[in-house]
Amino acid sequence: MESPYDLVRTLLAALAIGLLIGTERGWSDREESEGERIAGIRTFSLIGLLGGVSALVSEQITPWFIVAGFLGVCALIIAAHILEVRANKDVGTTTAFTMMLTFVLASWAALGHPIPAMGVTVVVISLLGIKPVLHSWLRKITPKDFFSGLKLLVISLVLLPLLPNKGYGPWEALNPYWTWWMVVLISGISFLGYVVIQIAGEKKGVLVTAIGGALVSSTAVTFSLARFAKKQKGNALFSAGVLLAAAIMFIRVFIEVLVVYPGLLGALWIPLTTMFAGLFCALVFVWQRRGKNKPDTRQPIALKNPLQLGMALQFGLLLAAVLLLSEAMKEWFGSYGIYVLSVVSGLIDVDAIALSLSRSARQDMANEVAVLGIILACLTNTLVKGFIFAFIAGFKDHFKLPLLMLAAMVPGCLVALVLL
């Protein structure tokens, strides 16, 4: 038998869940008069307490007691909702479902899981409280973007179970199932950045745009910021944006390696962190020398929705080619062939070579070779962005940026060499 202290603690947890959710609902409907709301803070608190008591009684009598309690609460909620619809023509069901969820969470807490129940309660309160924000976000996502993503998701869910999960081709380098999984991963990361851009918009500033854009395509961000810098000479804020986009790329690579082969991070995280920190220090240096005039970025950064079947297929083909080439270079030229391929791949894209080398390291490639290959690809790709920006924006005014990038990443490269 539980001690009185345990019983009180259990009931307090159930009551707290109802009280917290009821507080949010009461605050949300604070403009309505007393009696016009389906439920307020007192009702939610009582529902939470009822859920806790029902759970405790069901343990003593029969598990069906909690089922009966939940069905009774649901019946009252449905009746109240019907009356609300008839009186006020309000067909919203959020409060009704929240009341049901309150009972379930309180019961869950009383059955010995108060911590996860309280965690879910916090999530519920957060979702209820940011309704205006969520609706504004949805308005900024166009139907075309939504259905493009939905189409790719459906194709992936249908296609993945049908793809064979084994190697094909020379050296069995091509695994259709794994390759498409990586396409979904990269598309998901890119879409996250795309959503940030759509929600924040250019009004939030160059740096916020650079963060979101870097998750989609740091190269596309570089091109766009370079065009801005060419029109508005003397403002170093665009250079800072490129440095930030380049730094975010290292976070992206970290996530890719973590998903494919976490064991590689033991040797990779220090060089990646050092290079990221170097670029961030360079960003602070440039930021302090930015122009006082607010830059004009009314023209949107040119980013395509990454959740498009065509873009997914293109990356899938690129990844397959890099997978095949990495095995070929390793077989023909050893580790030096991998380093050359990393540099060449870095001129175009970092994701494909990072995923490819992580997979190879998980199989038979030495971790040292994979780590150094990823570092070389990141170094090459970052310097390419610097030269692209300087070339488009005006090499005379911005030739220092690629040199600053090189200086920022040299410590990371030296750390990698020392550790390996």
- Mean pLDDT over 267-280 rounds to 90
Per mean pLDDT, which range of 14-28, 66-80, 199-213, 360-374 is the poorest? 199-213
Kindly give the residue spans of alpha helices, DSSP state H, lying in 111-236.
114-129, 131-140, 143-159, 176-200, 206-231
**Residue 1 scores a pLDDT above 50:** no
**Mean pLDDT along residues 235-250:** 81
pLDDT at 304: 61
More confident residue, 241 or 165: 241
Q: What is the pLDDT of residue 375?
A: 92
Q: What is the pLDDT of residue 7?
A: 74
% of the chain residues with pLDDT over 70: 70
CA distance 319 to 334: 20
Does residue 141 carry a pLDDT above 70?
no
pLDDT tens by residue, 282-333: 888 887 766 555 554 445 555 565 566 676 777 778 778 887 887 788 778 7
Residues 66-76: what's their mean pLDDT? 83
Looking at residue 274, what is its pLDDT?
92
Mean pLDDT over the full length of the chain: 76
130 in the Ramachandran plot: left (φ > 0), alpha (ψ -120 to 50) or beta?
A: alpha
More confident residue, 360 or 130: 360
Pick the residue with more confidence: 94 or 42? 42
CA distances from 294 to 148, 157, 179, 223 (A): 35, 46, 44, 20
What is the rounded distance in angstroms from the CA atom of residue 239 to the CA atom of residue 243?
6
CA 411 to chain centre: 29
| pLDDT given for residue 142 in this prediction | 63
364-376 pLDDT per residue, tens: 788 888 899 999 9
CA 137/CA 407 separation, integer angstroms: 40
C-alpha to C-alpha distance for 130 and 274, rounded to whole angstroms: 37
* CA-CA-CA-CA dihedral for 18, 24, 28, 29, to nearest 10: 30
Band (pLDDT 50/70/90 cuts) for residue 233 is low
Q: What tens digit of pLDDT does each residue of 7-62 get?
A: 777 778 888 888 888 887 666 655 555 555 555 677 888 888 888 888 888 888 88
How confident is the model at residue 273, as a pLDDT? 92
- The pLDDT value recorded for residue 374 is 92
Confidence at residue 34, expressed as pLDDT on a 0 to 100 scale = 52
Measure the CA–CA gap between 55 and 253, rounded to whole angstroms: 47
Between 171 and 91, residue with greater pLDDT: 171
pLDDT reading at 272 higher than 80: yes
Could you report the per-residue pLDDT of 245-260, keeping only the tens digit for each?
Answer: 888 889 889 988 998 8
Domain boundaries, the chain: 4-129, 142-419
Average pLDDT rounded to a whole number, residues 114-143: 70
Measure the CA–CA gap between 34 and 141, rounded to whole angstroms: 38
**The predicted structure's pLDDT at residue 129:** 67
Contact 301, 333 (CB under 8 A): no
